[in-house]
Amino acid sequence: MKFFIKALNNFLTALTPFLFYSLGGYFVIEGRITLGALVAVLAAHKDFSAPLKELFNYYQTLEDTRIRYQEIMAFLNKSIQPLGHAQPDNTAPQEAGQFERSKQRYPALSLVGQGAIATS
C-alpha cells in the first residue's frame, strides 16, 4: 500500500501539469479559453499541490504505522507463552522463609506497628 501511494503521488504530480499544458494549449488555440485563464489555472495548481502532497504523506504515514503495529503485535503474540504451558513457581515460599529468618536476625526489618513507609 505504501508503494502504491508513492506511485500515485508521483503519477498525479507528473500527469496534471501535462494535462493542463496539452489540453489548455489546445483550448487556447481553439479559442475556448484565454491564455490568462490557462495561466491562472497553472498558478492555482501550483498552490494546490502542497496540501495534496501533505494529504498523501499523511496516508503514507498512516499505512506505515498500521503495518508496523501489525508486525509488532504478531511478534509479541509469537513470543508470549500460552497459558497451558506455564511452569509452577516454587521460589515464593523459599523467599518468604528467607524474609522471616532475616526479620529474626534484624528486628528493625519488622514492619508491624511502624506506620507508613516512604520509598524513593
pLDDT in tens, 20-79: 889 988 999 999 989 998 888 888 877 776 787 888 899 999 999 999 999 999 999 887
Quote the CA–CA distance of 10 and 52 in Å, as a whole number.
Answer: 12
Please state, in angstroms and as integers, the Cα–Cα distance from residue 3 to each residue in 13, 56, 65, 67, following that order: 15, 11, 14, 13
pTM of the full structure: 0.36
Quote the CA–CA distance of 89 and 92 in Å, as a whole number.
Answer: 7
DSSP secondary structure letter of residue 34: -
Please state, in angstroms and as integers, the Cα–Cα distance from residue 96 to each residue in 89, 93, 105, 106, following that order: 13, 5, 15, 15
10: which 3 cell numbers? Answer: 508521483
Q: Give the mean pLDDT of 97-108.
A: 57
Query: Who's near 25: CB < 8 A, 6+ residues apart?
Result: 38
